[in-house]
C-alpha cells in the first residue's frame, strides 16, 4: 500500500526549485496546498501564488523571492508532522522557530495558521512544517 503525502511533495518542490533559482514553478494543488502557499506568500517567503487551472486537477503557479545575492528567501523547510508520525501541540506548547526568525505552519480548527497566529488565537493543532 503506497502512502502519498502531498504536503511533503509540495515542500520538496519548493526546496528544489529555490535551489535551482527558478523564477516560478507549477505544481499540483488542493485547498490545503493553496492555503499553505498563501501563508508563505503572506509571510514574505514567496512572491506570488496563483491558481492557473481549476479542473480536473488544481494547478498552482508559485513565484519565488530572492535576495541580492540571488539566494532563495526560503533557506530551509522541514516537515514536522508526517503520515507515519503525527505531531500535535496545545496552544501553550507552540514553539518559536529559530527564536522567531522562521515560522511553523499549524493546522488548527480554524484552518492553517502560522505559529504566531495560533499563539495569539490560543489554538493548538498539528504542526505541519517549519520554514526559515
Set out the domains of the chain in order of their start, with CATH numbers: 6-64 (3.30.1370.30), 77-131 (3.30.1490.10)
Q: Which are the contacts of 113, defined by CB distance < 8 A and separation ≥ 6?
A: 39, 105, 106, 121, 123, 125
* Maximum Cα interatomic distance, the chain, rounded to a whole number of Å: 46
* Residue 2 pLDDT: 56
**Three-state secondary-structure class, residue 53:** strand
Average pLDDT rounded to a whole number, residues 34-51 = 97
Question: What pLDDT band is residue 4 in, cutting at 50, 70 and 90?
Answer: confident
Average pLDDT rounded to a whole number, residues 24-43 = 96
Say whether pLDDT at 1 is over 60.
no
pLDDT tens digits for 57-92? 999 999 999 999 999 999 999 999 999 999 999 999
Amino acid at each position: 500500500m503506497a502512502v502519498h503525502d502531498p504536503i511533503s511533495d509540495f515542500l520538496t518542490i519548493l526546496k528544489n526549485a529555490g535551489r535551482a533559482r527558478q523564477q516560478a514553478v507549477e505544481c499540483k494543488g488542493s485547498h490545503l496546498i493553496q492555503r499553505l502557499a498563501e501563508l508563505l506568500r503572506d509571510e514574505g517567503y514567496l512572491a506570488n501564488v496563483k491558481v492557473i487551472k481549476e479542473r480536473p486537477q488544481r494547478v498552482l503557479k508559485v513565484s519565488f523571492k530572492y535576495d541580492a545575492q540571488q539566494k532563495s528567501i526560503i533557506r530551509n523547510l522541514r516537515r514536522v508532522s508526517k503520515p507515519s508520525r503525527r505531531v500535535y501541540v496545545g496552544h501553550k506548547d507552540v514553539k518559536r522557530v529559530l527564536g522567531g526568525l522562521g515560522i511553523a505552519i499549524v493546522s488548527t480548527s480554524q484552518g492553517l495558521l502560522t505559529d504566531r497566529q495560533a499563539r495569539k488565537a490560543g489554538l493548538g493543532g498539528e504542526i505541519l512544517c517549519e520554514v526559515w
